[in-house]
Amino acid sequence: MNQQGILVVISGFSGAGKGTLMKALMEKYDNYALSVSATTRQPRAGEVDGREYFFVSQEHFKSMVENDALIEYAQYVENFYGTPKDYVEKQREAGKDVILEIEIQGALKIKKKFPETLLLFVMPPSAEELKRRLVSRGTEPLEVIEARLKRAAEEAVGIEAYDYIVINDTIDTCVEELHQLIQAQHNKTSNRLDFINEMRKGLSQL
Amino acid sequence: MNQQGILVVISGFSGAGKGTLMKALMEKYDNYALSVSATTRQPRAGEVDGREYFFVSQEHFKSMVENDALIEYAQYVENFYGTPKDYVEKQREAGKDVILEIEIQGALKIKKKFPETLLLFVMPPSAEELKRRLVSRGTEPLEVIEARLKRAAEEAVGIEAYDYIVINDTIDTCVEELHQLIQAQHNKTSNRLDFINEMRKGLSQL
């Protein structure tokens, strides 16, 4: 194959199961690299610096922006989120498919900057199931969950820009679907131009 | 799912193995319908009317064009090729994914008329392998094969318009790849608008 790794954005409503899916995908296949975003928001219970996010100060984030160290960044409520450039570039050069788990604002910026990016939006099977999952997590009070669902409804406005809707009904099936969609991207004509040119040359020399 | 079947175009150089792939795909999965084109060209040895093509006269073909009975048609060397509309529409309404095995000219017309069509281009692993396959078929003299390869090189000019390049190295693997690419198309955002709207409505009503 010898291709550069592709860039994949995965977004989805909170509670759709993105985190669990990414964990399962990373465990099952070794051709992926999960980009860790930088954020100025406070860590939630159980979150580890450098694993879920790089938790940085407003000042530090500002300096990353100024030093062009982020592929994209976005403000969300009062916090900033950004994708460190260095990691993404190195992993792609090494042939890894790099996955960014980011919000829709950031996703659209990435797509504009890198049109070949594969944008995937993970959805629960239904709105009721999304609420059920968020409630059963038990980590947040009902009013926070309701705010989150309201946000989800608002986020749904931008979904049309994504390439595929992936419905997370059962984790295993969904992981396989994600894997196949991402691997198929390597065969997109735009990612196969070298092969096509080689074929042309080969045919003309027969 | 309850979706209308999607439209898929499969093209590729003669000798790339399209016929064998289609046969294997149809045998393995029952959600596909293979559209049979109408043509004014003479049947080759072993070809059966209504199976490989509907072999029709120039006059008959002309009347199909005049009666708007073809989705697209194209002239190729001295012969006409066209896709009968009736079959495609009925099968798609019944939820079957309809596959058109047509030339690049026709493929581009289809894509223009139905932008959601999935265009797949089947390639042999290499130019040498393509020649080897054509020669080993033993059905045509070398000069016909060479003309065919020359044509293949010319056809390669339009490949960039296709969505995916599918390399036919081993039949089984390639059939699976085709199947997955086609099924993924059902989850294209543009094919999931009903689901997205349902989700939006559901979220706003929670």
pLDDT at B2: 56
Q: pTM score, two decimals?
A: 0.85
Determine contact, residues B149/B135, Cβ cutoff 8 Å: no
Bridge pairing between strands A37-39 and B70-76: unpaired
Flag if A128 and B163 touch (Cβ within 8 Å).
no
Kindly report the nearest CA distance between residue B169 and chain A, in angstroms.
Answer: 14
| b/e sequence B150-182, b meaning 16+ C-beta within 10 Å | ebbbebbeebeebbbbbbbeeeeebbebbbbbb
Alpha-carbon gap, residue A68 to A79, rounded angstroms: 19
CB-closest option in B153, B165, B181 to A200: B153
A149, closest residue in chain B (CA to CA)? B203
pLDDT at A76: 81
pLDDT at B1: 46
Chain B residues whose C-beta is within 8 A of a chain A C-beta are: 121, 123, 126-128, 130-131, 146, 149-150, 152-153, 156, 159-167, 177, 180-181, 184, 187-190, 192-193, 195-196, 199-206
Determine contact, residues A114/A97, Cβ cutoff 8 Å: no
A204, closest residue in chain B (CA to CA)? B153
Flag if A189 and B121 touch (Cβ within 8 Å).
yes
Alpha-carbon gap, residue A126 to B200, rounded angstroms: 10
pLDDT at B35: 96
Of residues A101 and A13, more confidently modeled: A101
Number of C-beta neighbours around residue A134 at 10 A: 23
Low-confidence ranges of chain B (pLDDT < 70): 1-2
The yes-or-no verdict on residue A1 having pLDDT over 90 is no
Determine contact, residues B67/B59, Cβ cutoff 8 Å: no
pLDDT at A7: 97
Among A27-31, A149-153, B83-87, B103-107, the range scoring the smallest mean pLDDT is A149-153
pLDDT at A150: 82
Flag if A121 and B188 touch (Cβ within 8 Å).
no
Flag if A188 and B149 touch (Cβ within 8 Å).
no
pLDDT at A97: 97
C-alpha dihedral sign at B70, B75, B80, B83: negative
- Tens digits of per-residue pLDDT, A111-148? 999 999 999 999 999 999 998 988 888 888 888 888 88
Q: What is the ipTM of this complex?
A: 0.82
**CB pairs below 8 Å between A and B: how many?**
114
CB-closest option in A149, A160, A188 to B203: A149
Residue A2 three-state SS: coil
Among A22-31, A130-139, A194-203, B147-156, the range scoring the smallest mean pLDDT is B147-156
The yes-or-no verdict on residue A5 having pLDDT over 70 is yes
Flag if B165 and A195 touch (Cβ within 8 Å).
yes
Q: Which residues of A touch B206 (CB under 8 A)?
A: 127-128, 131, 146, 149
